Structure 1
Amino acid sequence: MLTAIVLIDADVSLIPEVASKVAAIPGVAEVFSVTGDIDIIAMVRVDEHDDLAQVISDKIGKVEGVIGMTTYLAFQTFSQSDLDEAFHIGLD
């Protein structure tokens, strides 16, 4: 599974609509409206590398109200549940 974090600049008057449309795109796992320099963060999770271009460029980038995007690809996940499991290995 490939994960991309997409930072989305949106037309301020359309943030809720943009977030809803992005959330409805297959491959988009989560969407957050956030404070700071960007307006929306979308977590994209797909099985194939080629799917990233389809979801991010062909779908998210074409949503009305999206002004710009910056995308980061995740190399490794360090969730709390993963860390908890790692520290409990061999302690039974």
Structure 2
Amino acid sequence: MITAIVHVDVEVSQVPEAAAAIADVEGVSEVYSVTGDTDLVVMVRVVQQEALAEVIADRIGKVPGVRATRTYLAFRAYSKHDLEAAFAIGADE
């Protein structure tokens, strides 16, 4: 699984509509409206690297109101939730 974190800049008047449209894109797992120097943070998860271009450039980038995207690829995932779940396997036995 390839995970990309995409920062999306959106026209202010279109943030809710753009977020909803992006959330409907296949390959998008979460969309967060955030404070700071970007409007939305989008989590994209795909199986093949080639799918990143389709999801990000061809779909997210063409949502009305989207002005720019910046994509960061994840090397590794560090999640307390995932680690706790892994170590809990068989704990009830």
Match of 2:58 in 1: 58
Structure-2 separation of matches of 1:20 and 1:81: 27
**Please, which runs of 5 or more residues in structure 1 have no aligned partner?**
none
Match of 1:82 in 2: 82
1:88 Cα shift?
7.1
Structure-2 separation of matches of 1:41 and 1:82: 21
Match of 1:42 in 2: 42
**Please, which runs of 5 or more residues in structure 2 have no aligned partner?**
none
SS of equivalent residue, structure 1 residue 32: strand
Letter paired with 2:72: Y
Letter paired with 2:17: E
- Aligned residues: CA RMSD: 1.7
Match of 1:11 in 2: 11
Q: Which runs of 4+ in 1 moved over 2 A?
A: 81-89
What do residues 46-81 of structure 1 show as CA deviations (whole Å, max 9, x unaligned)?
A: 000000000000000011100011000001000102
Letter paired with 2:35: T
**TM-score with structure 1 setting the length:** 0.90
